[in-house]
Structures are given as C-alpha cells and as structure tokens.
Amino acid sequence: MSLPKIAITMGDPAGIGPEVCLRLLQNDAVAERCVPVIFGDRAVLEQSAEQCGLAKPAKYIGGLAEADGPCVLDLGAITTNDFATGTVNAATGRAGYTYVEDAINAALSGQVAAVTTAPLNKEALRAAGIAHPGHTEIFAALTHAQRACMLQYSSEVRCVFVTTHVPYAEVPKLLTQERILDTLELGAQAMRRIGCIHGTEPKIGVLGLNPHAGEHGLFGDEEERIIIPAIETARERGFDVEGPIPPDTAFLPAKRRATDFFVCLYHDQGHIPLKALCFDEAVNTTLGLPIIRTSVDHGTALDIAGQGKANPSSLFEAVKLAVKLTGAST
C-alpha cells in the first residue's frame, strides 16, 4: 500500500516553522509513515538551513504528482528580502496564510490525505488583513464546516474546547447547551477513531465554568442553566459523561487516567494543564472538518527563530497523528 501524502504548511516564515520543517524532512521515522510535502518557500527554507546549520531540502517539486518522498512544494509566496527572521511582518502573515489555503485546497481535492500545520503568528495575520485569528477558524471557514472545534491531544490528557480565541469576558455569553453538545459529540467521534483508554466508548469529563463548578449557584449560574442540562442531554444520547467537574481538580493524575477527554469551556482551561504536562508532544487537531488537520501545539517562538534551538517533537507527533487519522498503519 502506498504511503499517504501529508501536506505540512511551513508556518510563519519569520518563526521557527521553517526550522522544524527542515528537521522533519530529515526524520526517517516520519518518512517511513508518509510522504511529507512542505507547502512553503525554497528561499526561506534554505535561509533557515544556513541560519540553523541544517541540511537543505533534497527535493523540490512543482506539483503534487511529483511527490514520492520527503519534498518541498515551492509556492513562491515570499522572498527573504521581504522580512527579517524573528519579527512580526504583514508579508509573513500573508505568506503563512497562502500555505494554509493551498494545503486546504489540496486536501479538499484529494491530492493529499491530510494537512499538518506549523505555527502562524496571529499578530502577523492581523497585520496582513486576515480576518481569522488562528488556524482553527481559518480551516472552519475555508472548508465551510457546519460545526468545528479544537482538540488538544497528548498521551497524558486530551481536551476539546467549546470556545477558543475570544476574550474571557465573552465566554459566558457564548456558552449554550447546543455548543457544548456539539463539542462533546465531535470529541467522542475523534476518540473512537484514535482509540479510547478503556473499551470502545470514551469516558468524558465536562468542566465547570465557575469556582467549585458554581457550588449550586453560589458562584455563578452557568452550571445550573447551561452546563448541567447539556450533560443530562448527552447522557440521554448514550454518552458516558461526568460533570460538571471543578476545574481545579479535573486534571489530577487519577482523573486523567480514567478520562478519555475533557470538555473545556475556554482556551486556557485546557491549554494550561496540557502544556504544563506535555508541551513537546502535544498536538492540536481541528474536529468537524471534511478533511484531516493536525498541528503543532506551540507558537512561532520568534525569540529563538533562526538559532537552531527549536524542538520539532510536536510537529513529528502531529504528522504521526495525521497519518493515524487517515487510517494508514503507523
């Protein structure tokens, strides 16, 4: 059986994306699982190779039909004269978006089996006039997904998110029973594909919003009005759900071992424990799309860009998960 082609977007050219992509092209374990195709720019990658003391890519292609091993699809979206490594720039924001857009189109047309993304810089995206704050929103918009959410995946803990890149003051207004249920159901579908800890059906933990999960309305009424009714509906639909769980005790070792995934209500509720526990191996996945998308779980790290210090582990793990989701053997 032929190996699946995985589109790997280079990320923001000014960040560590080019470096971790170069390291991925040299990784034999990745090449044994798939055909990794970097969607990026030759000039940027070769500059990064010189900066970081890494090997330059061995193969460049002009079309995906030519991809038969680790290679780079040179998109010509930016030149090295357009930006300085380690700085925020509208040009790098536009280029990073171009890589993602082209990779999405390749996946939608069946030319690649999945997309794995290196990090974009949200400030650069905004400077470039891109309306979406991050990858999750870009993928949802460009694939016309009816419902989508973020899954943060690692061996230690897995979290799906009801809200992501919004101010905390807006979170209570965005919480609805339907939104919680959609997120829970998408998480359950994903874990059935990836593999549950115990058996074939996932054990799910839904977090509370307020201190002590509201303490029966003493510290906020979102649990009583929204979260508990959503949990009850999920149970009626056959899901194995616990909650609302007070967030300060949700991620204790025994609870993590017994829970396939947690439904988190806002960004940092799940990102903080996950990154504290397993920063280098965590993978970000967008659920609810018509295509497979995984990503690193770190940012552009402009402060170390071009210095040869970037850890590529998260990108390696993201590609491995993408291959697993395609159904290919890993």
277 and 196 housed in the same domain: yes
| Coil, helix or strand at residue 283 | strand
* Both structure tokens of 318: 């993201």
pLDDT number for residue 295? 93
Compute the Cα dihedral for 49, 51, 54, 55 and give only its sign. Answer: positive
100 and 228 housed in the same domain: no
Nearest alpha carbon to residue 275 among 301, 252, 298: 298
34 and 129 housed in the same domain: yes
103 and 168 housed in the same domain: no
24 and 49 housed in the same domain: yes
Beta bridge partners of 240: 203
Between β-strands 71-74 and 114-117, what pairing exists: parallel, antiparallel or unpaired?
Answer: unpaired
CA distance 108 to 126: 26
Going edge to edge, which strands form the sheet with 283-287? 60-61, 71-74, 35-40, 5-9, 114-117, 293-296, 283-287, 149-153, 159-161, 261-264, 203-207, 240-245
Q: For residue 197, what is the domain's CATH number?
A: 3.40.718.10
156 and 282 housed in the same domain: yes
pLDDT number for residue 67? 96
pLDDT number for residue 329? 55
167 and 53 housed in the same domain: no
Q: Which of 270, 287, 304 is the last residue of a domain?
A: 287
Q: How far is CA 72 from CA 17, 63, 302, in A?
A: 14, 10, 23
pLDDT number for residue 57? 97
102 and 177 housed in the same domain: no
Nearest alpha carbon to residue 39 among 74, 76, 83: 74
254 and 321 housed in the same domain: no
Q: Which of 269, 287, 305 is the last residue of a domain?
A: 287
Structural domain for 264, as ranges? 147-287
228 and 300 housed in the same domain: no
CA distance 146 to 287: 11
Burial of 193 (0-12, 13-18, 19+ CB in 10 A): exposed
- State the total domains in the chain: 2
* Tens digit of each residue's pLDDT, the chain (330 residues): 689 999 999 999 999 999 999 999 999 999 999 999 999 999 999 999 999 999 999 999 999 999 999 999 999 999 999 999 999 999 999 999 999 999 999 999 999 999 999 999 999 999 999 988 888 889 999 999 988 899 999 989 999 999 998 999 999 999 999 999 999 999 999 999 888 988 899 999 999 999 999 888 889 999 999 999 999 999 999 999 999 999 999 999 999 999 999 999 999 999 999 989 988 788 999 999 999 999 998 899 999 999 999 999 999 999 999 999 998 755
127 and 188 housed in the same domain: no
70 and 118 housed in the same domain: yes
